[in-house]
Copies of this chain bind each other. A is one copy, B any other.
């Protein structure tokens, strides 16, 4: 299992619209076979910053299977107009858990 963390900097005047659009966009993410779980989080210190955290079966489930799919095109098209920076995407593996 691999965790994607994407930092999303949203136009400050459009955060509510972004959250509504995300509620639709997540349905495309969930339909990707390698997507095990996804959540959107809102930053407390920087109010127009969000973080998308997705559990993927493995790295290729995200970088190949999803990214090359029509589901990704629909997901991206719903959200990209709200970003004021290119999303910063990194992947992590689990080392320890409580």
A55 CB to closest chain B CB (Å) equals 9
The interface bits of chain A over 19-45 (1 if a CB of B lies within 8 angstroms of the residue's CB, else 0) are 100110010011000010111111111
Identical chains bound together, number:
2
Query: Which residues from B are CB-within-8-Å of A44?
Result: 2, 59, 90-93
Residue of B nearest to A93 (CB): B42
Measured as residues with beta carbon below 8 angstroms from the partner, the interface class of chain A is: 20 to 34
A61-98: which residues lie under 8 A (CB-CB) from chain B? 90-98
A60 → chain B, closest Cβ, in Å?
12
Residues of A within 8 A of B (CB): 2-3, 5, 19, 22-23, 26, 29-30, 35, 37-46, 49-51, 59, 90-98
